[in-house]
Amino acid sequence: GDSVTQMEGPVTLSEEAFLTINCTYTATGYPSLFWYVQYPGEGLQLLLKATKADDKGSNKGFEATYRKETTSFHLEKGSVQVSDSAVYFCALKANFGNEKLTFGTGTRLTIIP
């Protein structure tokens, strides 16, 4: 079945550091890929998405590129801020059937000033 494997946390970085959170997937066909973020005390929010190979999703300085050849969707940001501290979830959705998402385990990111 479909699965998502993402970088284990927690990850701690200094402010303005470069961020990479790895995500790889296993799926049949051509899924859509997502990054969700959960800030403390809040629900999950969609951060960015890509629906086909070589698409790049971007939002709030974060980027991720859908790499079919490596079945990856790594999240990157050039310069993190304290406000980026949150839990990040990689997810996929099969492009048939309903909107069911398959999630990774989440990566807790802490940015220190």
Partner 1 sequence: NAGVMQNPRHLVRRRGQEARLRCSPMKGHSHVYWYRQLPEEGLKFMVYLQKENIIDESGMPKERFSAEFPKEGPSILRIQQVVRGDSAAYFCASSPSGPGGELFFGEGSRLTVL
Site of interaction with partner 1 (CB under 8 A): 4, 36, 41-46, 89, 97-106
Q: What is the nearest approach in angstroms of partner 1 to the Cβ of residue 106?
A: 6
CB of 87 to partner 1, least distance (A): 10
Nearer to partner 1, 17 or 32 (CB): 32
What does the DSSP assignment read for the chain? --EEEE--S-EEEETT--EEE-EEEE-SS--EEEEEEE-TTS-EEEEEEE-STT-EEEETTEEEE-BTTTTB--EEESS--GGG-EEEEEEEE-SSSS---EE---EEEEEE-
CB of 14 to partner 1, least distance (A): 26
Q: Which is nearer to partner 1, 84 or 107 (CB)?
A: 107
Q: How far is the CB of 102 from partner 1 (least distance, A)?
A: 7
Backbone angles phi, psi at 29, to 5 degrees: 75, -145
CB-nearer residue toward partner 1: 43 or 113: 43
Quick one: 69 or 99, whose CB is closer to partner 1?
A: 99
